[in-house]
Structure 1
Amino acid sequence: MEQDWTVRRVPAADGADIVLHSIGIGPGIVVVHGGGVTIETYRRLAIRLADRFTVHLYNRRGRADAAARAEPYDGEQDIDDLAALLAHTGARDVIGHSGGGFIALRAAARRLPISRLALYDPAVQVDGLTPTAWLPGAREAARAGDIARAMALTSAGINTHSAASRLPLGLQVAICRLFLRTPIGRAMGELLPTTLDESALIHRHDGPPEQWAGVDAAVLLACGADGPPYYPPTNEALARVMPHARTLLVPRAGHDALNRAPRHLVDALAAFFAAPVTSEPAGS
């Protein structure tokens, strides 16, 4: 049976409204989306989990129906908003994707009441495993208003496994100019300065994996077999220090697999969230 979305306004710690989009039946899962996108790319995932779970989507600050983001950006508002949503919904399970995975992991390290945390391609910098040399040039181009060049540098810097990243930069910029004419390209272009700020924050938190050893939630560290090559070693390093973590390499999956929501990934997430946990979440 087709289900309907419900939309509610949840008060944030600073008095702003967080607009919560929910669907499904069963235990609650809060999704923390990645950078450069809005919740629209996660609706397929939510719908495919909705027969077993109540899935909560929300736009992080500075996007779509969300309130403005505090500047300079330090990620604290993101953690506060997630705390408010966990308190409002009673959910204790979280999915974090890419930059949203970094936010969700920081929240778990702060002992927010999270029982199970599924991270897909979490943008967590561990011992310099993730490339960073592209970021200054991309930020300089964005400040100059050359979004196509900034996008090309960002894409090549992040997607090191992609054949497109080895094309001449001028050709990559031309491709990005065409992409910026599409609806999703325009949306990503508008959000690119925000994405670059988040990338800079993530890179500033580079360090040994032991800085995350205090995360006591059950953690699934997933990444795609067809995605960037730095996610598997990052996940393995994190899994070695977290007491209740394991890794999952998802076949036939790239960085956008969580948005595409193939059945084998959805079923793996559902199995993880249905499994019992051995300890109470922090803060419960």
Structure 2
Amino acid sequence: MSATREKGAKVESATASRDGTRIAFEKYGNGPAVILVSSALADRSDAKKLAGLLAEHFTVVNYDRRGRGASADGAAYAVEREIEDIAALIDHVGGSASVFGSSSGAVLALRAAAAGLGVDRLALYEPPFSVAGDDFGPPPGFAERIEALLAQDRRGEAVKEFMVKAQGMSAVMVGWMRLMPGVWSSLKGLAHTLPYDIAVMGDTQQGKPLSPEPWSAASVPTLVLTGSKSPAGFQRAARALTGVLPDASHRTLNGLNHGAVVMAPKKLAPELIGFLRG
């Protein structure tokens, strides 16, 4: 393990996951530990402002999921490896921590809690389950389509396909993003991790009622947050999830949308602080 000082972060360090993969993180603040789990096409930079706000009350671990940023990648991907990454971070901070995740990162955080890791409290922002027939979800064969594009090194097309078909973004908006070189190059740089988030979501985006299993095994206090400006499907997903979890509540935050972690951390932080402090 190594550690170096970095402007804006208390400590930058790394730990080894169970399979030996190096998982890099920044650690901020003092107090009870909170681990932040990023969404698809994101690394720890997305949550840096949120981490700074939370660090006034907690020891915040903001990490790069495997294959992203400064973290290494394993020889073969499995969702279980990402759960082991979170386990390694929990061990690093003393054996227990609260966990916050956004979008598919929320589902990964939920899977970690359901696997029995030492999670104290769980906060989830807009897990993208599709629980009704008219909810948005990727089309059949989507995973295979993304894999094919990546195999052909068509990374930009894979990103566009994911944004339009899995996130419901308009092609026009994606076109505008292509005109932002720094943003687009960063997204393309993370394109190879798209299959990871597709695997994390599993069969939960088919417009079917949410099964209690495996989610009900996550028995820790849980807060599911949604934004009032997000599509109605996120509200339905949140209500469905709170209905199958043993100890969960749902709150809708006025004026926020699916990008709240990056776009509105100052509005998101107070809700998280209140819940995570118990």
Residue 119 of structure 2: SS of its match in structure 1?
A: coil
Q: 5+ unaligned residues in a row in structure 1: which ranges?
A: 276-284
After superposition, where does 1:1-284 map in structure 2 within 5 Å? 4-71=9-76, 73-90=77-94, 91-124=96-129, 126=131, 129-133=135-139, 135=142, 136-160=144-168, 165=170, 174-179=175-180, 182-204=181-203, 208-211=210-213, 212-275=215-278
* C-alpha distance after superposition, 1:14-62 (max 9, x if no partner): 2333223111121110111112111011110011111111111111111
The percent identity for this pair of structures is: 28
Task: Give me the TM-score of the superposition, normalised by structure 1.
Answer: 0.83
Report the alpha carbon displacement of residue 268 of structure 1 after superposing the two structures with TM: 0.6
CA contact (8 A) 1:149 1:173 kept: no
CA contact (8 A) 1:209 1:237 kept: no
1:278 counterpart residue number: none
Q: How far did 1:126 drift?
A: 4.5
Q: Higher mean Cα deviation, 242-251 or 146-155?
A: 146-155
* Counterpart-to-counterpart distance in 2, 1:185 and 1:124: 26
Q: Distance in 2 between matches of 1:228 and 1:186?
A: 28
Aligned-CA RMSD value: 2.5
What is the identity, as a one-letter code, of the residue corresponding to 1:272? F
Contact kept, 8 Å, 1:11 with 1:17, in 2: the verdict is yes
Corresponding residue number in structure 2 for 1:280: none
Q: Deviation at 1:7?
A: 1.9
After TM superposition, the structure 1 stretch with the greater mean CA deviation from structure 2, 8-17 or 265-274, is 8-17
Query: May I ask how many residue pairs the two structures share in their alignment?
Result: 264
Q: Deviations over 1:168-191 (max 9, x none)?
A: x5x566445424xx2221111121
Once the two structures are TM-superposed, the CA of residue 257 in structure 1 deviates from its matched residue by 0.6
Superimposed CA distance per residue, residues 85-129 of structure 1 (whole angstroms, 9 cap, x where no aligned partner): 111202420001112111111111111111200011223454664
Letter in 1 for 2:159: M
8 Å Cα contact 2:101-2:123 kept in structure 1: yes
TM-score for both structures, normalised by structure 2: 0.85
CA, structure 1 residues 222+70, in 2 after alignment: closer, same or farther (shift >3 Å)?
A: farther
Could you list the per-position Cα deviations for residues 196-218 of structure 1 after superposition, in whole angstroms to 9, with x for gaps in the alignment? 44224413356633111221011
- The SS at the match of 2:187 is helix
Separation (CA, whole Å) in 2 of partners of 1:25 and 1:87: 17
Distance in 2 between the 1:110 and 1:126 partners?
22
Deviates more, 1:11-20 or 1:98-107: 11-20
**Which amino acid in 1 is paired with 2:211?**
P
Range 227-236 or range 34-43, more displaced: 227-236
Structure 2: runs of 5 or more not aligned: 1-6
